[in-house]
Structure 1
């Protein structure tokens, strides 16, 4: 028994050491939350505090019960990070395509599409966060794409969309609608912008987006495989250990009746009956 306790404590200590190390690394490499987002011309697109307020708006509406951000949440509605990023990329590519070729991006020759996509990738992945001012500086075309996306999301959340399980009138306040768009923009910015001195985004190139070369990193693929192998190996080792042990002996005297039937319930156990009835009633009312 002592050996089991030693093994148990070692697993706990090692597990929390790894969790602590990973948490510290995440804290060190987390994407900055800017004070504001401005264009190169100096126009303020997102005012100080709007990103945090937008997160509060999303949480107040249900948060992870209403779509997901960075892959965390429910899948009734889209992942707002991926949705914003793809819409922004498509809007910019179509604007450039219409301006330079008079056609939609999808109608261009492959070499023209490749040239525009390379330009888009360079613009989107460049880290323009200014630590001195706490601002993100973006091109005017990204600001125009922001306004287009903001209009789209204002319609989705104010008029509703059954495919996303969003009812009509879910959010009507124009200030909160814009703050919500500011939050979605920031999650998309972090997902497509390279970390300082690196070639991967703050979210390790998640979500997948071909238009800005957001692809799984080699490290992610390797460690995903390693983690699965270790998980299966650990399960196999436990099964092998259990199978290699001698069968546990049965008790010398087997009772004629189940001992649990004669259990005397304590007052605290009886008190929980009211709780379970109350919870069941609330669930039925919600349904």
Structure 2
């Protein structure tokens, strides 16, 4: 009886404030929780160093690159971490794939073996995945040590973006042509994009997935959906379906209540 009265109370248009309050509290609670996690679980912005402790990209280089990214509103032409316009590439996904491909090329070129053995080729692929996933971040010095293959890939990445922005005839040239021409700005921008690819690839401390839960999907870089992603994707879909079903169910109950109300108030003939 209580449940029926509660449903009737909630579905009564005069009591609109209570469902609205419930929705507001749940929504604000969710947004607050997401906001807290965004800052407390954010990836570091480290200094990237070579094995000889030579600076490759400093934290300031990455932040300068972020400023360049914002200055030219590149999210209007592509996206970063999947967030932005769909008129161009996702720079993080693009860079992660290029890094994986160039690391593979490095080991292939510098191998004494002629790679006729398919098992050897498979070993290089797995080595690249392992090195992309391995988290070398040192919190005390706020630094990450990169190996020779990663250094090689970064040089290739810098050349790729220099060509992309300055050579309108190159494959995958940025449009509009000549949008960014300063080589110093492009180098800083590359530092920011590389950091984004590192965040997408490297494993979060204590976990077997990256800071972005292995997004974007890139098998060559070892980014495949984790069990948590599959589970929550299924639960999210089921939640949407069940939620819509409940809304339709109680909407039908509301119509029934209104019909009964009008019937009772109708004059007798």
Q: TM-score range with shorter-chain normalisation?
A: 0.7 to 0.9
Structure 2: distance between partners of 1:243 and 1:5: 20
Residue of 68, 71, 78 corresponding to 1:60: 71
Which of 76, 80, 102 pairs up with 1:69? 80
SS in 2 for 1:129: coil
Give, in angstroms, the shift of residue 134 of structure 1.
Answer: 1.5
Q: RMSD value over aligned CA atoms?
A: 2.1
Q: CA deviation at 1:108?
A: 4.9
Residues 159 and 167 in structure 1, CA contact (< 8 A), matched pair in contact too: no
What pairs with 1:85-96 in structure 2 (closer than 5 Å)?
85-96=96-107
**Structure 1 residues 228-287: Cα deviation after superposition (integer angstroms, max 9, x where no partner):** 2211222222223223314688xxxxxxxxxxxxxxxxxxxxxxxxxxxxxxxxxxxxxx
Q: CA deviation at 1:51?
A: 0.7
Q: Does 1:32 find its partner at 2:44?
A: yes
Given the two structures, how large is their TM-score scaled by the length of structure 2? 0.84
The alignment partner of 2:153 has SS state of helix
- Distance change in 2, residues 1:144/1:220 (3 Å): same
- Deviation, 1:90, is 0.8
Structure 1: which 5+ residue stretches go unaligned? 250-287
1:17 and 1:186 mapped to 2: Cα distance?
A: 31
Q: What is the match of residue 175 of structure 2? A: 166
Alignment correspondent of 2:128: 120
1:178 corresponding residue in structure 2: 187
In the superposition, the TM-score normalised over structure 1's length comes to: 0.79
Q: Report how many residues are paired.
A: 245
The farther-off stretch of 130-139 and 185-194 is: 130-139
Cα distance between partner residues in 2 of 1:108 and 1:177: 39
Deviations 1:132-156 (A, max 9, x none): 1122211122112101110110111
Residue in structure 2 matching 1:199, options 188, 204, 208: 208
Judge conservation of contact 2:165–2:174 (CA < 8 Å) in 1: no
Aligned to 1:153: 161
Q: 1:143 aligns with which of 147, 151, 157?
A: 151
User: What CA distance in whole angstroms lies between the structure 2 residues aligned with 1:48 and 1:214?
Assistant: 25
